[in-house]
Amino acid sequence: MTNDPLDALDALIHSRKGESASSSYTAALFVGGRAKIAQKVGEEAVETVIAAMRKDKKELTSEAADLVYHLLVLLADSGLCLNDVRNELARRTAPRASPKKPIGRLDSPLPLAGGEAWVGRPPDDLKQAGGLLHPSLGGHVQTRHAVGNGGRHALP
């Protein structure tokens, strides 16, 4: 057993998978299924936001703990664990080589609705630029240089 309370909680949650619903609240969540677990994550997320908006640190801490617990249950039900999340966060924060061009600069014309296109930094309001981003880009600006998220940058 580890000294990290999150690791200990994650291990405990995984150990409750497959137990009868009457043995623990965690086991009952697993028996209830992923939809029920996901619903609890959503409820706890809302309660966490409400506590944050009330600026009540004690309540926020308590609700955040509930949210983390239910998220760990959802991860376990999905065949994942806390280390999978840690690894993803490490991947996202790992140093990367700087792109050859600044993020946000387009290397090729960006298709807009109506067949128009433009090159350069996205304007603040794409409607003023003559339309919306082409659906094939999924609302993202595509560059040739893969940086961070495969070369796609969400517009503000």
Domains in the chain, ordered, with CATH?
A: 5-93 (1.10.287.1080), 110-154 (no CATH)
Yes or no: say if 96 and 147 are a contact pair by the CB < 8 Å rule: yes
The string of pLDDT tens digits covering residues 9-18 is 999 999 999 9
- pLDDT at residue 114 is higher than 60: no
What separation in angstroms does the CA of 146 have from each of 82, 86, 103?
A: 27, 23, 10
The per-residue pLDDT for 134 is 43
What separation in angstroms does the CA of 102 have from each of 22, 65, 78, 121, 127?
A: 57, 39, 38, 10, 24
Token digits of residue 51: 């506590």
Element (H, E) at 14: helix 5-16
The per-residue pLDDT for 116 is 52
For residue 151, name the pLDDT band (cuts at 50, 70, 90): very low
Give CA–CA dist 59/43, Å, rounded.
15
Percent of the chain with pLDDT over 90: 58
In the chain, the amino acid numbered 71 is L
The pTM is what?
Answer: 0.61
Q: Which of 2-11, 32-41, 103-112 has the lowest mean pLDDT?
A: 103-112
The per-residue pLDDT for 2 is 56
Within 10 angstroms of residue 12's Cβ, the number of other Cβ atoms is: 14
| Nearest of 53, 77, 140 to residue 104 by alpha carbon | 140
Dihedral Cα 71, 36, 38, 72, nearest 10 deg: 10
The string of pLDDT tens digits covering residues 85-102 is 999 999 999 888 766 555
